[in-house]
């Protein structure tokens, strides 16, 4: 039997971190070796398994960084990502980043870190979302020259607690679609007042925040006389946790570099 992959979860007390801990505890190919939070977190010292609603794992929530992890999975906040990057580089630990809302400077630090460690970074760890992104690109490419023109709008729905808008996933959809539309694509966020006629080279974004929605994205491809709506929706957060764990397994034997979920899915 092969040795289990040792993983650590950064942001382990959050909604997503707890689900990563829970699913990892059920996977014999994985061994949870650390569950990390910031040094002021009120739940420090509590067992990660108890927090995740599974059996006690004898892994205390801690601000200390492990030195024996093979891969760190980060589901934290932008204000915590700098320390995570620094520690992973210091310990030469592979890193899966699912945190969204990072600044340009943080993205640059992440890219610099990928020169010394392997990193998977994606705005969504969902396998279905990433497959849908490829479909969105293919649809755009095939309809570029459709008679009457093509209009593309992105509608995303998330829970009331989400702090950034539009979602990182919606922005990624837009960036991938824009690659097919061309360099003059405009990204328009919401509409209000007398905006005038819709231009032909724009992508519209609309963010909805309701209840406990774990994430839903609808890409509307509008033409004269017909439309396509590509919808991908999560029914629970487990799809993101499962995707992050799949990324960790895939990343474990990769050389330094920046990867994404398309690489994980070999698309």
Catalytic residue numbers, as ranges: 158, 162
Question: Which two three-digit tokens encode residue 139?
Answer: 């649809």
Please name the residue that has the structure tokens 């005038």. Answer: 196
Q: Is 123 annotated as a binding residue?
A: yes
Q: Is 159 annotated as a binding residue?
A: yes
For the chain, what percentages of helix, strand and coil (3-state, to nearest 5) are there? 35, 25, 40
Q: Is 15 annotated as a binding residue?
A: yes
d(CA 108, CA 216): 28
Bond from prior residue into 12 cis (ω within 30 degrees of 0):
no
The candidate with the shortest Cα–Cα distance to 206, out of 170, 235, 177, 179, is 170
- CA 84 remoteness from chain centre: 16
128 annotated ligand-binding residue: no
Binding site annotation covers 13? yes
Query: Is residue 101 annotated as involved in ligand binding?
Result: no
Q: Which residues pair with 216 in a beta bridge?
A: 157, 233
Q: How many whole angstroms separate alpha carbon 119 and alpha carbon 151?
A: 35
User: Is 100 annotated as a binding-site member?
Assistant: yes
Q: Check the annotation: does 11 bind a ligand.
A: yes
Check the annotation: does 98 bind a ligand. yes
Query: Which residues belong to the annotated binding site for NAD(+)?
Result: 11-16, 37, 98-100, 122-125
Query: Which residues belong to the annotated binding site for (S)-2,3,4,5-tetrahydrodipicolinate?
Result: 159, 168-169
Query: Which residues belong to the annotated binding site?
Result: 11-16, 37, 98-100, 122-125, 159, 168-169
């Amino acid at each position: 039997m092969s040795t289990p992959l040792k993983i650590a979860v950064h942001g382990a007390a959050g909604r997503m971190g707890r689900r990563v801990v829970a699913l990892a505890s059920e996977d014999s190919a994985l061994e949870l070796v650390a569950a990390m939070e910031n040094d002021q977190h009120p739940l420090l010292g509590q067992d990660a398994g108890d927090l995740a609603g599974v059996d006690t794992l004898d892994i205390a929530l801690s601000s200390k960084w492990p030195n024996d992890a093979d891969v760190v999975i980060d589901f934290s906040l932008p204000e915590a990502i700098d320390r995570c990057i620094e520690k992973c580089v210091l310990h030469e630990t592979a890193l899966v980043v699912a945190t969204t809302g990072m600044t340009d400077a943080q993205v640059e630090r992440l890219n610099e870190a990928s020169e010394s460690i392997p990193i998977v970074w994606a705005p969504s760890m969902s396998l279905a979302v990433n497959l849908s992104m490829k479909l969105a690109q293919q649809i755009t490419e095939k309809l570029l020259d459709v008679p009457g023109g093509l209009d593309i709008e992105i509608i995303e729905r998330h829970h009331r607690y989400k702090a950034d808008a539009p979602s990182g996933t919606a922005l990624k959809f837009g960036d991938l679609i824009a690659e097919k539309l061309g360099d003059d694509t405009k990204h328009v966020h919401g509409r209000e007042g007398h905006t005038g006629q819709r231009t032909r080279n724009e992508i519209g974004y609309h963010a909805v925040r309701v209840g406990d929605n774990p994430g839903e994205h609808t890409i509307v491809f509008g033409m004269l006389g017909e439309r396509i709506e590509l919808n991908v929706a999560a029914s629970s957060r487990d799809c993101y946790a499962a995707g992050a764990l799949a990324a960790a397994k895939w990343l474990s034997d990769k050389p330094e570099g920046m990867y994404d979920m398309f690489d994980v899915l070999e698309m």
